[in-house]
Amino acid sequence: MVSPAIALAFLPFVVTLIIRYRYYFLLFYRAVLVRMVQDCLTSLTREERAFQYVLTHATPGDPNSILDTFDHWCSKVEYMSNIGPRKGKVLDRLIVDNAPLTVLELGTHCGYGAVRIARSLQLGARLYTVEMDERNAEVAEKVIRLAGFDDDTLELIVGTSEEVITKMREQYGVERLDFVFMDHWKRCYLPDLQLLEGSGLLGKGSIILADNVIFPGAPHFLRYVKKSGLYQYRTHRATLEYTPGIRDGMAELTYLGVK
């Protein structure tokens, strides 16, 4: 057993550690422990619980109400890694300012990002959003339709990002992507970006916005972007969604074309 004297000597170190990393401990509690307990108590996934809350509290057909209700649930009830309201404003501005006609979202999750993008699209624009988890895709489909968007504006595709990117031309008739929003597995950011390049779906001026490049981070992706010479690049620094004490950011890339 550890003597009281030794334990007391380590106490300042433990307290300092807890204070320094308190937001990470809080994130672990909200994102992991609370989720585990609620999974057992409800027999529903976290995404299904979020949809039940939105269905009960949001106004159908009103995208703003859907997003506000999601934000309240994620900040006050259970944590979920949507882009959130602060970083979402950057996404909103880029969509409005650039008025893309064809948009690809990688990582639909529960539909928050898709609704956020779709509400800012101009008439005639189309969003393809990709989710590999079938159960999450079912939730996202309900959220998207609850917000009032139909297949003419927003098409949800179930599959991996790699599978879908390779089929964009042949199966979906897409010749060019004006805007790509990456918010899926961070380890897929780089291979998917290179796949987009190789497929010819990126044209000069195409914009790629990648979330969470600082936390949990996508270092290989950022290193490639900086060295490739194919992109004009900037980072939008912010904090992790619904967790203000953890630094995060998004990478905004503008494709310059093949050298």
What amino acid positions are annotated as catalytic residues? 183, 186, 211-212, 241
* Strand 202-210, strand 243-255: pairing: antiparallel
Could you give the CA distance from residue 229 to residue 183 in angstroms, rounded to a whole number?
A: 23
Could you give the CA distance from residue 231 to residue 190 in angstroms, rounded to a whole number?
A: 13
DSSP-derived secondary structure for 190-221: HHHHHHHHHHT-EEEEEEEEES-IIIII-HHH
Instruction: Count CB atoms within 10 A of the CB of residue 209.
Output: 23
CA atoms 90, 63, 152, 163: torsion sign: positive
How many alpha carbons lie under 13 Å from residue 242 in its C-beta half-sphere? 21
Could you give the CA distance from residue 142 to residue 258 in angstroms, rounded to a whole number?
A: 40
Q: Is 35 exposed, middle or buried (0-12, 13-18, 19+ CB in 10 A)?
A: middle
